[in-house]
Amino acid sequence: MNPTDWLDYEIFGNTITRAALATGVFLLLWLVLLLVRRLVAGKLKKLQEKNEDSLGFDVAEDVARATRSWFLFLLALFLGARLLSIPESVNLWIVRAAMIATLLQLGLWLSAGVLKALESRRKRQLEESPDSVAAMDILSFIARVAIWSIVILAILDNLGVNITTMIAGLGVGGIAVALAAQNILGDLFASLSIVLDKPFVVGDFLIIGEFLGSVEKVGIKTTRLRSLSGEQLVFSNNDLLNSRIRNYGRMFERRVVFSVGVTYQTPLQKVKTIPGILKEAVESQEKVRFDRAHFQKYGDFALIFEVVYYVLSADYAEYMDIQQAANFRIYEEFEANGIEFAYPTQTLYVNKTDAG
């Protein structure tokens, strides 16, 4: 007997030589896949460190690190097994097992990518609006549920389970739950809309109809404002988004319009100097941009001048300080030039006739 004849000995329909070759391919592929995962993750980490503001490299690194060793093991085992002669029934289960492993790994990749993107947004949200982070956590939970629901349904379908009836049942149940909790779900999605669209953030000053106040907290169901008089205003998120909101927190500059009235007895030459006086009074202030000053109209008891300027700040107290300083300057100039402010007056004309 030839010493090498034992290599042709068959085990389960495969020679020892073929089995050894398949084992060698399996081990080599497994080591190569582990090495590739490590190299790719390391390269992406270096790229992310060089481009700290790039979300793409950060997400890609997390996706690469989410590749599990068991998946690489099963992938290498599946490819190595292709070299063996395997019964059809066993091969079917091997293919199914490989498909299930691939779906599970796909779920891990999607979860890692989505969660990393949401985590990065959550960090930015934490700096801009700390109280709205809870809604980001809800969004993260919804994303994970959606991903793994799809993965589980795909696995059941791969195992031969009829998922059509299951989906129909879940759909009917979902409709019933949605109808029972439609107000809560409406506020929940409105909260997500506020977080993603950002019509306002914590600290913004809002006017909603007859109510006004600063945003104190954006919750999952309600948004709370602190009014100027001190009480807390609570709005349903859904109702809030259906309202007309005036957001003064997004104001970069403030347009100011005010009027000054002088008496009709003011001489024409002095009347002509008034727009220049008003202009100088405004331009002498800091953080303002003068627009115009005009003799606007003849009032009931005064000559009306209108002034328009912009305060280059959204701060209300700063605007009032500027307006006050301008008013003092106008008062001084009018007093120095002998110009009198008008006040409500009434002239009574008496027609005296001789009695016949």
197 or 52: which leads in pLDDT: 197
| Distance of alpha carbon 207 from alpha carbon 218, whole angstroms | 16
Instruction: Indicate if 92 and 175 belong to the same structural domain.
Output: no
Instruction: Indicate if 110 and 91 belong to the same structural domain.
Output: yes
| Distance of alpha carbon 294 from alpha carbon 298, whole angstroms | 12
Instruction: Indicate if 239 and 278 belong to the same structural domain.
Output: no
Q: Which residues pair with 280 in a beta bridge?
A: none
> What single-letter DSSP state applies at residue 68?
-
Residue 95: Cβ within 10 Å count: 12
Could you tell me if residue 278 is inside a domain? yes
Q: Rounded mean pLDDT of 164-176?
A: 61
Instruction: Indicate if 108 and 19 belong to the same structural domain.
Output: yes
Q: DSSP for 251-263, please give it.
A: -SSEEEEEEEEE-
**CATH number of the domain within which 290 lies:** 3.30.70.100
pLDDT at residue 117, rounded to an integer? 79
| Distance of alpha carbon 355 from alpha carbon 352, whole angstroms | 9
pLDDT at residue 338, rounded to an integer? 93
pLDDT exceeds 50 at position 1: no
Instruction: Indicate if 166 and 272 belong to the same structural domain.
Output: no
- For the ranges 99-108, 126-135, 151-160, 253-262, the lowest mean pLDDT is seen at 126-135
The tokens 């001048």 sit on which residue? 305
Among 250, 285, 317, the domain boundary falls at 250
Could you tell me if residue 353 is inside a domain? no
pLDDT exceeds 50 at position 84: yes
Could you tell me if residue 190 is inside a domain? yes
Instruction: Indicate if 194 and 228 belong to the same structural domain.
Output: yes
Q: Which residues of 214-224 are buried (b: 16+ CB within 10 A; e: fewer)?
A: bbebbbbebbb
Burial of 153 (0-12, 13-18, 19+ CB in 10 A): middle
Could you tell me if residue 133 is inside a domain? no
The tokens 């100011």 sit on which residue? 256
Could you tell me if residue 294 is inside a domain? yes
| Distance of alpha carbon 263 from alpha carbon 270, whole angstroms | 11
Instruction: Indicate if 18 and 57 belong to the same structural domain.
Output: yes
pLDDT at residue 177, rounded to an integer? 53
Asked whether 74 and 94 are in contact (CB, 8 A), the reply is no
Could you tell me if residue 41 is inside a domain? yes
Q: Which domain holds residue 320?
A: 254-337
Burial of 279 (0-12, 13-18, 19+ CB in 10 A): middle
* List of residues 6+ apart from 198 with CB closer than 8 A: 129
Burial of 106 (0-12, 13-18, 19+ CB in 10 A): middle
- For the ranges 39-43, 163-167, 253-257, 271-275, the lowest mean pLDDT is seen at 163-167
Instruction: Indicate if 244 and 263 belong to the same structural domain.
Output: no
137 or 10: which leads in pLDDT: 137
Asked whether 68 and 108 are in contact (CB, 8 A), the reply is yes
* pLDDT range class, residue 77, cuts 50, 70, 90: confident
- For 198, list phi and psi in degrees, rounded to 5: 55, 60
Could you tell me if residue 347 is inside a domain? no
Instruction: Indicate if 115 and 19 belong to the same structural domain.
Output: yes
Q: Rounded mean pLDDT of 189-198?
A: 77
- Residue 38 C-alpha from the chain's centroid: 34
Q: Rounded mean pLDDT of 301-312?
A: 94
| Distance of alpha carbon 70 from alpha carbon 115, whole angstroms | 22
Q: Rounded mean pLDDT of 247-261?
A: 89
Could you tell me if residue 354 is inside a domain? no
Q: Rounded mean pLDDT of 168-195?
A: 65
Please tell me the total count of domains within the chain.
3
pLDDT at residue 350, rounded to an integer? 76
Instruction: Indicate if 243 and 199 belong to the same structural domain.
Output: yes
| Distance of alpha carbon 108 from alpha carbon 131, whole angstroms | 29
Amino acid identity, position 193: S
Q: Which residues pair with 308 in a beta bridge?
A: 257, 292
Residue 347's SS3 state is coil
| Distance of alpha carbon 142 from alpha carbon 126, whole angstroms | 19
**CATH number of the domain within which 230 lies:** 2.30.30.60
